[in-house]
């Protein structure tokens, strides 16, 4: 089975998913390589919890046929490898629930000019759910891995998906320390069994980290001294594409250098510091989206000087949000919004701003800052006018070949027209 080129069965999967998820719509993928549906309405970003019906879906390979009774997850790379059935995972370990904002690393790819390849997301590929499952630290302890910090130093955990095909293994590596800290093996979503398109019967959940790290249909967890590299797994096919080639930030066509390990895993920290020449997409960049009012909405005020509530969500991977600002004039001036609601590490928060507009047409923007002092940039750079290094230094988001990790606020602005009742 080839992993490239036209794949007609994509439309079968997408149509079936759309039937189950009425709050989503198909997203353009002209190469027809991915199954993708995204949030159909900006109002998704006015709620803290994203319903299963509204939550985006993205995966490359066809969903595997699943028999949960016979499904198991192998834990390898240990003195003695073990295999865990679903009954064992669910019944013999603690059960926890974690809040996690799942964002596709390609969210915002469609905002790049010139256009990059693959799925042309606007801002549809983000959602927050409560994921139920087994703490990964408990599973690792059962395999003989101590959860002391020094035990995890410089080690990696590679997750392998059951949707892997003979020619290509879907594998992603995360630091063992992150696995021990807060990651889980999830088998539930928003109080329901994990849906098929979200990785049933079990997937890896890495709170605050881009979706690609949250491997679906989990088949194997391998403790390693390095990230997955080509030939590092005792499996047929290629191993390293999804870790070492795709989901890396680089300015033009080419093959980024493979690394066995890196000292800095923060996505934006890698980008801004130059610690890694071609940063890996691990934790999500600082981001915000307005959910209400909606784009191109006509708002009729009941009376002059009536108030409108601008409502949205904000997140920043492993880091806490420090504040959100609102502009009603396309970014020329800003006012502080209130950040409120549930406050979980790895999950977005709500923001609101009371606005008393005069009649007219307005461009609304939001920009967030995190506890590290990082703020959303205004725009994505123009690669024909700005060099990669210049874009970073000028506080624009650097256009990159894969269209990953975009967090500029201008492309996500909305326009509203305000009138008053006669």
Buried b (16+ CB within 10 A) or exposed e, 141-151: eebebebeeee
Q: Examine the pLDDT at 409 and tell me if it is beyond 60.
A: yes
Task: State the residue range of the domain holding 390.
Answer: 287-420
For 368-404, the pLDDT digits (tens) are 999 999 999 999 999 999 888 888 888 899 999 999 9
| 84-104 average pLDDT score | 97
297 located within any domain: yes
pTM confidence score: 0.95
| 108-112 average pLDDT score | 97
Question: Residues 6 or more apart from 11 whose CB is under 8 A from it?
Answer: none
Question: Residues 6 or more apart from 45 whose CB is under 8 A from it?
Answer: 39, 123, 126, 289, 290, 291, 312, 313
For 40-76, the pLDDT digits (tens) are 999 999 999 999 999 999 998 889 989 999 999 999 9
314 located within any domain: yes
Q: Examine the pLDDT at 100 and tell me if it is beyond 80.
A: yes
| 128-134 average pLDDT score | 98
pLDDT of residue 70: 95
Give the C-alpha separation, 318 to 315, whole Å.
Answer: 9
CB-count burial class (<10 Å; 0-12, 13-18, 19+) for 4: exposed
For 161-185, the pLDDT digits (tens) are 998 877 889 999 999 999 999 999 9
Give the C-alpha separation, 165 to 256, whole Å.
Answer: 24
Q: Examine the pLDDT at 286 and tell me if it is beyond 70.
A: yes
3-class DSSP state for residue 309? strand
Confidence of residue 2 (pLDDT cuts 50, 70, 90): very low
pLDDT of residue 388: 86
pLDDT of residue 8: 58
Confidence of residue 152 (pLDDT cuts 50, 70, 90): low
User: What are the CA-CA distances from residue 204 to residues 55, 108, 135, 154 (Å)?
Assistant: 17, 24, 10, 20
| 271-296 average pLDDT score | 94
Spatial contact of 93 and 138, defined as CB atoms under 8 Å apart: yes
Among residues 186, 182, 220, the alpha carbon closest in space to that of 202 is found at 186
Confidence of residue 275 (pLDDT cuts 50, 70, 90): confident
252 located within any domain: no
CATH number at residue 358: 2.60.40.650
261 located within any domain: no
367 located within any domain: yes
| 405-415 average pLDDT score | 97
| 317-343 average pLDDT score | 98
409 located within any domain: yes
Confidence of residue 150 (pLDDT cuts 50, 70, 90): low
Q: What is the DSSP-derived secondary structure letter of residue 303?
A: S
Give the C-alpha separation, 422 to 419, whole Å.
Answer: 9
Confidence of residue 4 (pLDDT cuts 50, 70, 90): very low
User: What are the CA-CA distances from residue 359 to residues 305, 309, 362 (Å)?
Assistant: 10, 16, 9
Confidence of residue 149 (pLDDT cuts 50, 70, 90): low
- Provide the number of structural domains found in the chain: 1
Confidence of residue 32 (pLDDT cuts 50, 70, 90): confident
pLDDT of residue 140: 94
pLDDT of residue 1: 28
pLDDT of residue 329: 97
pLDDT of residue 410: 97
pLDDT of residue 165: 76
112 located within any domain: no
375 located within any domain: yes
CB-count burial class (<10 Å; 0-12, 13-18, 19+) for 97: middle
Token pair recorded at residue 63: 């969903």
Q: What is the mean pLDDT of the chain?
A: 93
User: Given CA atoms 255, 259, 264, 267 in this order, what sign does their dihedral have?
Assistant: positive
pLDDT of residue 190: 98
């Amino acid at each position: 089975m080839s992993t490239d080129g036209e794949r007609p069965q994509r439309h079968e999967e997408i149509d079936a998913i759309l039937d189950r998820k009425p709050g989503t719509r198909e997203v353009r993928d002209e190469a027809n390589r991915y199954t993708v549906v995204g949030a159909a309405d900006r109002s998704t970003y006015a709620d803290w919890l994203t319903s299963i019906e509204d939550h985006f879906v993205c995966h490359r390979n066809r969903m595997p046929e699943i028999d949960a009774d016979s499904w198991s997850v192998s834990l390898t790379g240990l003195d003695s490898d073990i295999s865990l059935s679903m009954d064992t995972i669910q019944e013999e370990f603690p059960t926890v629930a974690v809040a996690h904002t799942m964002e596709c690393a390609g969210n915002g790819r469609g905002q790049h000019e010139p256009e990059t390849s693959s799925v042309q997301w606007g801002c549809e590929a983000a959602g927050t759910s409560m994921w139920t499952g087994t703490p990964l630290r408990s599973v690792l302890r059962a395999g003989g891995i101590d959860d002391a910090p020094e035990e995890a130093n410089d080690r990696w955990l590679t997750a392998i998906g059951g949707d892997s095909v003979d020619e290509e293994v879907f594998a992603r590596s995360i630091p063992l320390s992150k696995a021990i800290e807060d990651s889980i093996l999830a088998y539930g979503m928003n109080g329901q069994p994990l849906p098929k398109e979200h990785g049933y019967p079990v997937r890896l959940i890495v709170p605050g980290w881009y979706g690609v790290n949250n491997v679906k249909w989990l088949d194997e967890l391998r403790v390693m001294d390095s990230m997955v590299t080509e030939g590092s797994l005792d499996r047929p096919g290629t191993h390293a594409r999804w870790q070492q080639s795709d989901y890396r930030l680089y300015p033009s066509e080419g093959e980024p250098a493979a690394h066995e390990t890196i000292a800095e895993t923060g996505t934006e920290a890698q980008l801004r510091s130059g610690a890694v020449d071609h940063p890996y997409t691990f934790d999500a960049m600082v981001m915000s989206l307005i959910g209400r009012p909606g784009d191109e909405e006509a708002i009729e005020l009941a009376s002059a000087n009536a108030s409108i509530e601008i409502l949205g969500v904000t997140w920043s991977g492993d880091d806490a949000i420090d504040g959100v600002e609102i502009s009603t004039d396309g970014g020329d001036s800003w006012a502080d919004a209130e950040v409120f609601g549930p406050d979980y590490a790895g999950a977005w928060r709500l923001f609101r701003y009371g606005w008393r507009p005069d009649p007219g047409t307005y461009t609304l923007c939001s920009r967030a800052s995190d506890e590290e002092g990082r703020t959303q940039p205004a725009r994505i750079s123009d690669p024909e006018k700005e060099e990669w290094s210049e874009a970073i230094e000028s506080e624009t988001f650097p256009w990159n070949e894969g269209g990953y990790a975009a967090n500029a606020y201008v492309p996500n602005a909305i326009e509203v027209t305000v009138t008053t009742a006669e």
